[in-house]
Structure 1
Amino acid sequence: MRDNYKIVGRPIVKTVTRDKEIEVEITIERNNYNKSWVNHKTQFKAIVSFKHTDNQLTFQRFFTSNETKNVVNKCVSYFEKKCKEKRIVNEQEQEHRIRFDDFDNHGRIVFFLKLYNSIETGKLDFNGDNAGSFEFCPDNDIPLPEELKWMDNKEELIFKGKKIDTTFFLEQERYYQHLVVWRMQATFTFNLIGRGVTGKIKVDFNFHEFQRDKSHKAPLEIKLASALELDENNLTLSQKEDVKKILLAKFEELKTLIYQNHFTPLD
């Protein structure tokens, strides 16, 4: 038992590809003491995927609450330690996660916009449908241009609506250096080739730990921010869960592709 939650049962280990990829599914039970004793327990699931290809070890995290995020992070740390002990990976290697301080202000906005609409996005069978929300603040270390003076002394700005990416300060790159952006929510259409599943999903891209406590080491977190909106709603609940896992894995792949193809780590 840790804090207000505990792991329920034994984790389920599934071999996806022999000697290449495994998945570990974990269920946790959270106690919410603000609710009545009848319904104060809630269960959440988390999955962590371990892939070993081309002498690289890749982790993918799928979680639905802060508690499951904590559990999968501990699971990854444990697995990484064991791989180093068995010399599957070099002891000096560290997991690289895309973090807030991998970018300057300009690069971070470009990164978000490429997640929404880029060659890589299209190749993974996504199409940006609506960039509906950005969260940011002005950079107080740089004097604001006249057109952005209304942002002075603002600690947090949330822009919601339709096609927020067409707002002048997100359309014109000369404003990017003045904006500290940490979150984007966008809706995508998708087409899972080979599965015959098409639809729409809203995705949340968030350097959450920067938003929470201004940590410049905040990793990018990706979550599905809405239920699946399928063109043909003929899937079972289990099949929908599988589709969500596939979509999350594709967005994890997308962030890595865009980072590797377009960005050089900052010193």
Structure 2
Amino acid sequence: MKHEYKDANKILPYGELLRGLANQGYLVKSDLKKFLRNRGIFFNSSDKEKLVPCISTLILSPVEFDELREYQNTKEDNFKKNTSRLKWNSDSTIFDAVKNLSFTGVIPNEGYNFYLVKEPNINLDQKNKNKIRIEYELERNDFNKSFYESTNRFKGEIEIEKISDDEIRITKSYTSSESNFVGDSLIRIAEKHFKDNNLVSKNEILRKILFSDFSNEDRIVFFYRLSSNTNSIYFTFKDIVNMEFRPDNNEKLPIEIDWMKNKSELKIRGKSIHNTFFIKEQKYHKNLQFWEMESSYSFKFESYEGNCNVVFSFKDYLNKNDRAEFEINISNFSLVNGSEFTSRDKLVIKNKLLRLFEDNKDIVYTNFLKYLADKNKAPSIDDY
């Protein structure tokens, strides 16, 4: 999240300085158009190329500058979520397990241009002592940038929940590479704390959903189960709108898709792309390494209604290959009567929806593990 300049109360930008502020990504077209409308200036176009020059010609009042600053302070990058699991070896609740958890050394003292704004905060649920959240916020300073770009703040959260007598689930939510780094650091600290206190066995390994956990065929089945086969009272699948993949160099390509040879990255965007022959027909799946699928949905949740896209992805596959971790996030997002909601309201709603998709993903993944176990089960004498 862009964080306001520490001396913002002492300046009132105009001209090129105001143009640079209005042109930032966190000020979207609807914000700028609404800002101008309040000034009595109306545009048929929503292009920032036309809105920004107009704003840069204005002399703002302090109240109007505060309005732009409020737009800035309510914009947040997309939250992304991934989960991991640990075998639990204790009768202790999570509530009791984290009482003496120390956050020393979350970020090394040297070599990093970001820092925690305050010590991570543990939220204990008095009604459910087997579920806690660790929230954190960090700040990054870029001193070589202009005043409106120099400071960024990012939030993150770690949720730890005991889901059975012998297993805990850890869900990481982050918005940037920096908050992802801090989230991983907090998970390592919590894991070490649990092992040092004999709550988790010393030789237990944190289990993540990794690219290498799937064969090429099983991976695309998993993607399909997450997207088009998802059932929920809150959202309805519409279409698969994006897929990213490449040919598996370890497999000889059939003649029909030999044109993919030596391609390091392929993307397909559009409508009904799941009907493309090499995606629709299973005989090609063993030859293709899919790492991302984006699907569109309509949703009705609480009093809200709208549309969104959800990205299911091993997003770091091209860099980490088999060690890439699975995550989900919401990309495009719109509400019916969206102009009636503030940016902060939309952020809250969006994060609620992401939590619903994450919960559904966990169910799908659990069932998929059972499917894989049954598929790979060696036949017994009773099967004949």
| Fold shared per TM-score above 0.5 | yes
Q: CA deviation at 1:25?
A: 1.6
CA contact under 8 A between 2:228 and 2:239: conserved in structure 1? no
Question: Is 1:14 matched up with 2:14?
Answer: no
Question: Is 1:224 matched up with 2:310?
Answer: no
Deviations 1:101-153, CA, capped at 9 Å, x for gaps: 111111111111111122xx213633222211111111122221121011111
CA, structure 1 residues 189+22, in 2 after alignment: closer, same or farther (shift >3 Å)? same
State the SS of the aligned residue for 2:120.
strand
Could you say which residue in structure 2 is the equivalent of 1:182?
291
Opposite residue 232 of structure 2, the aligned amino acid is K
Could you say which residue in structure 2 is the equivalent of 1:54?
164
Among residues 215, 220, 224, which one is paired with 1:113 in the alignment? 224
Could you say which residue in structure 1 is the equivalent of 2:139?
29
Q: What is the correspondence of 1:24-103 to structure 2 with a 5 Å cutoff?
A: 24-36=134-146, 39-55=149-165, 56-103=167-214
Q: CA deviation at 1:49?
A: 1.0
Distance in 1 separating the partners of 2:264 and 2:163: 43
Distance in 1 separating the partners of 2:233 and 2:359: 9
Could you say which residue in structure 1 is the equivalent of 2:363?
257
Higher Cα Rg: structure 1 or 2?
A: 2
State the SS of the aligned residue for 2:206.
coil
CA contact under 8 A between 2:228 and 2:240: conserved in structure 1? no
Among residues 281, 305, 309, which one is paired with 1:172 in the alignment? 281
Relative to its length, the structure with more strand (as a share) is 1
Relative to its length, the structure with more helix (as a share) is 2
CA contact under 8 A between 1:12 and 1:24: conserved in structure 2? yes
Q: CA deviation at 1:198?
A: 2.6
Distance in 1 separating the partners of 2:290 and 2:316: 13
CA, structure 1 residues 50+217, in 2 after alignment: closer, same or farther (shift >3 Å)? same
Could you say which residue in structure 2 is the equivalent of 1:208?
315
Q: CA deviation at 1:238?
A: 4.5
CA contact under 8 A between 1:57 and 1:89: conserved in structure 2? no
Distance in 1 separating the partners of 2:233 and 2:119: 34
State the SS of the aligned residue for 1:257.
helix
Q: CA deviation at 1:250?
A: 2.5
CA, structure 1 residues 19+33, in 2 after alignment: closer, same or farther (shift >3 Å)? same
Distance in 2 separating the partners of 1:254 and 1:31: 37
Structure 2 segments unaligned to the other structure (5+ residues): 1-108, 377-384
Q: CA deviation at 1:237?
A: 4.5
Q: CA deviation at 1:34?
A: 4.9
CA, structure 1 residues 15+196, in 2 after alignment: closer, same or farther (shift >3 Å)? farther
Could you say which residue in structure 1 is the equivalent of 2:235?
126
Distance in 2 separating the partners of 1:235 and 1:21: 31
Distance in 2 separating the partners of 1:133 and 1:220: 17
Could you say which residue in structure 1 is the equivalent of 2:304?
197
State the SS of the aligned residue for 2:119.
strand
Q: CA deviation at 1:232?
A: 4.2
TM-score (norm: length of structure 1): 0.88
CA, structure 1 residues 180+236, in 2 after alignment: closer, same or farther (shift >3 Å)? same
Opposite residue 44 of structure 1, the aligned amino acid is F
Deviations 1:200-232, CA, capped at 9 Å, x for gaps: 222222212222242x12110212223x31224
Percent sequence identity over aligned pairs: 30
CA contact under 8 A between 1:32 and 1:41: conserved in structure 2? yes
CA, structure 1 residues 86+260, in 2 after alignment: closer, same or farther (shift >3 Å)? same
Moved over 4 A (4+): 234-239
Opposite residue 211 of structure 1, the aligned amino acid is L
Q: CA deviation at 1:64?
A: 0.7
TM-score (norm: length of structure 2): 0.62
Distance in 1 separating the partners of 2:269 and 2:130: 42
Opposite residue 149 of structure 1, the aligned amino acid is D
CA contact under 8 A between 1:60 and 1:252: conserved in structure 2? no
CA, structure 1 residues 124+107, in 2 after alignment: closer, same or farther (shift >3 Å)? farther
Distance in 2 separating the partners of 1:236 and 1:90: 47
CA contact under 8 A between 2:293 and 2:311: conserved in structure 1? yes
Could you say which residue in structure 2 is the equivalent of 1:245?
351
